[in-house]
Structure 1
Amino acid sequence: MRRLSLLSLFAAVALLAACNGRDTSPGADRNETPGDAQPSTAASAPPSASPSASASPATVFPPAVQSLLDQAKAAGRNRYLYAIDQGATVVPTSDGRSFAIVWQPDTAGDGVPFIATIHGHAGWAFNEFFLWHQYARERGYGIVALQWWFGQGERFQDYYSPREVNRELSIILGGAGAEPGKVLFHGFSRGSANSYAVVAYDRAAGQRYYGLAIANAGKPGLDFPGNVDIESGAMGSQPLSGSKWVTFCGGKDEHPERDGCPGMREAATWIERYGGVVLKAIEDPEADHGGFHHNAVHINAALDVFAGQLKGQ
């Protein structure tokens, strides 16, 4: 049943991608302050000699998707092979520009909870899958890791906008059978800085998939278009109303005012100003920028909050 639903999802999204596949031209140059590259764990998964067919290595993708997937493989082959070996499926996005990694546990039935995650600056979805997979498997959750960076550039246009992130995640989550309130949304660094708007768009669309969001080391980037919409009132006075949050910061983050504890305390205030509630603020004085995924205590603390939200439904 799980394999059938994933294959059906793949077929539906691939059809949309084939119809909408296109190359995009970048716009004005807008640079991001460097320093929030995707963290790595102490050890990568060993490569496999015979990847599982469920990840569809031979599938023909739209050209832009295949090129980006090849780049992702080259950037972290062990992480790619790990996802393949775990039975993950690579799904093209509906516009034919990128892809997502979709995985569900073998025991999954209808209404399985999901972790939907976006990486940091110049990052890769296979890293996010690797970092979350063990914990998702232990708790019986699925994973959707979206490749929201297009593989080059620093500008807003080199990433999906928060509205587009929400669109693609909604298509995939809906196709995978996710239910409102049963998705944990996570954004790291630049992903965190955009996570606030992703959640706001989800709520504005009436889907309300995200029962909890983790803002991991990145306060709202107030020049990012989605956050501009929030601040300007374009999404109403309380666009985060009803949303629940966990924040994380490391005391040794090299950009404390943006990504570290001063920045994330500011983020918590910002969330509450627009109607959200911060259920847990995790502060690790010894952690660096990628400290959340370097410590199982932090990951499980956030997942325990999500489990509590699920029980309360």
Structure 2
Amino acid sequence: MTYHFFEKWAERREDVLNFKREITKAKKTYMLKVYFFHKIWNQLNKNKIDRKSAEALARLYKLKSSNAYMQILAKSKELFEIKSIHSEEIYQFIDLVRTLNEKVEVEKKLAQEIIEELLSGKLPVKSKFYQLQEFFKEESLYLNIEDQNFKKIEEVFLIQKEPGAGTGGYILITEAVEKGMVTIEGKKIFTGKKPIQGLKIDHNKIIIKGDHFAPMQNARWIEGDQYVSPSSHDPYSYFVERGRFNSWPRRKIQYTLGISNAEAVVSLEVEVFPEQTYIKIKEEGIIQFAIAQLKPEQVRRVYQKAQLIA
């Protein structure tokens, strides 16, 4: 839990089998793609073509090793021979790598379209870059890159935002563990001596049973869709510790959470990776969660149907 998901697998003991070389390759490839596309984007905004960067990307995407996730998948078959690793943990690892592998292949086709247009002297439409940015945003969740100069480039190009719509206070749950803000005992996570309600660890993942407050119509849509969709301007889905606001009046909930409408509450159970999970611990002991890039398939069920708040 104190590692980023891939870091855990990169740092496993040599005698167990690790993926350090492949994960390092994935990081370097990702950084190069973002670096060169950022340069191209800057020139595109001036109606110019950065041919040199386009050529560099063309060479990169032609390399068989440009998709490190494919290499990880091939090597991961050996994991089932290691009895010290729980099979569920292995399946979760492989599922994520397979998802990233599929997305990188789609991203590659889109990137090559953009590169071909650039090299032919055409200015690609910006909507293609927006699609590309979404692919990069998801991949970035699972790569623990510490190069601060690169992170500035990444933040500008991907227009990454902190959770909370500017209110602040959220921290990645892995960082909260490292800083001692929360502690782990078995499958539970604690703040002080109190376990966080509805939160537990399941091998590589975190399961959250959380409450989401919204206008009644929105809450019903969420119940029907079984999904809290991130908005176009905020890539996070928000939840509160389960049952924390039971019997609270609507206005007090709205004031405490800093939201405009808490007409209703709907509760979902989601299964996500630590890299997606941000936590906010308020002075009143209220725990809030922000999930980055939540996917519909990560919602396990509607835990409580939409209910009107008095």
Under TM normalisation by the shorter chain, which class is it?
Answer: under 0.3
In terms of fraction of residues, the more strand-rich structure is 2
More helix by share: 2
Between structure 1 and structure 2, the one with the greater Rg is 2
Higher relative contact order (CA 8 A, sep 6+): 2
Per the normalisation by structure 1, the TM-score is 0.27
